[in-house]
Amino acid sequence: MLRIIAERFRQGYRTSGFPATEPVIPERFRGLPKLKPEKCPPGCIGCSENCPFGAVSRKGDNITVDLGRCLFCADCPACPHGALTFSNDYRLAVNRRRDLLLDGRGPALAAALEKKMLSLFKRSLKLRQVSAGGCNGCEADVNVLGTLVFDLGRFGIQFVASPRHADGILVTGPVTRNMHAALLATYEAVPEPKLVIAAGACAINGGPFLDSPEACNGLETILPVDLYIPGCPPHPYTTLDGLLRLLDKR
């Protein structure tokens, strides 16, 4: 026991100061895209032709990136001319699907819940996480929010085992046919009023499984969504930032 206590003193305080202090994000992290349409040669539509997930399009002089479809590929092949690059801005979560369409302006970041819902959930929010056919990437980066670095519980937010104890669900994965009924049953088990959060490209728009007969084209085709958290997977700080914005703590 003494060795354990001594080791804790050696390690020191490890919990992030977020949101009071901005997190240190690795330079290689691919966050909010930067669009520079002036670098596009006239008539070039290479971005819309090259993106394998249909996340980038160009009409006239305008470039649009659908953050709900974008997988933030490590070697994005969309534009060879430098008109599309990535920053390391982790703030991406929004309330509405259409706000994920980036056309040069920053996304309309998530706003707080309406007054009645905020009075219910601001101090204590319990979520049931549902992996609806995910690859475990989004699930792993949601799970890490419970570690001492992020310490989700200090904000009054916790993940619970039963939907009957939850205030909402956080869904990852493309909602495969096999998980469709289980997801709806989980949603129905959550007492009213309740929240629905779509985390990751698969849950938002189907991800690489878009238009597959075995998966849904986005959670919003099944359930009303209150918060969209883009990414593949979303960075833990992206998820945490979105949750705090929803609860008016950011």
Per-residue confidence (pLDDT) for residue 79, from 0 to 100? 73
Per-residue confidence (pLDDT) for residue 14, from 0 to 100? 82
Closest CA to 47 of 109, 36, 170: 36
- Contact between 219 and 196 under an 8 Å Cβ cutoff? The reply is yes
- pTM, whole model, 2 decimals? 0.92
With 90 as the cut, is the pLDDT of residue 224 above it? yes
Per-residue confidence (pLDDT) for residue 54, from 0 to 100? 85
- Could you state, in order of their start, the residue ranges of all structural domains in the chain? 115-246
Q: Which residues pair with 171 in a beta bridge?
A: 130, 198
Per-residue confidence (pLDDT) for residue 83, from 0 to 100? 76
Q: Looking at domain 115-246, which CATH architecture does it have?
A: 3-Layer(aba) Sandwich (3.40)
With 90 as the cut, is the pLDDT of residue 38 above it? no
Mean pLDDT is lowest, of 56-60, 77-81, 83-87, 192-196, for 77-81
CA 245, CA 172: separation in Å to the nearest integer? 20
Core vs surface per residue 175-188: b (16+ CB within 10 A) or e: bbeebeeebeebbe
- Contact between 73 and 6 under an 8 Å Cβ cutoff? The reply is no
- Contact between 19 and 250 under an 8 Å Cβ cutoff? The reply is yes
Q: What is the pLDDT of residues 113-126, one digit of tens each?
A: 999 999 999 999 99
Instruction: Give the residue-averaged pLDDT of 66-72.
Output: 92
Inter-CA distances, 118 with 92, 113, 243, Å: 21, 5, 12
**First and final C-alpha spacing in the chain:** 39
With 70 as the cut, is the pLDDT of residue 46 above it? no
Q: What percent of the chain has pLDDT over 70?
A: 97
Q: Which residues pair with 35 in a beta bridge?
A: 84
CA 42, CA 56: separation in Å to the nearest integer? 17
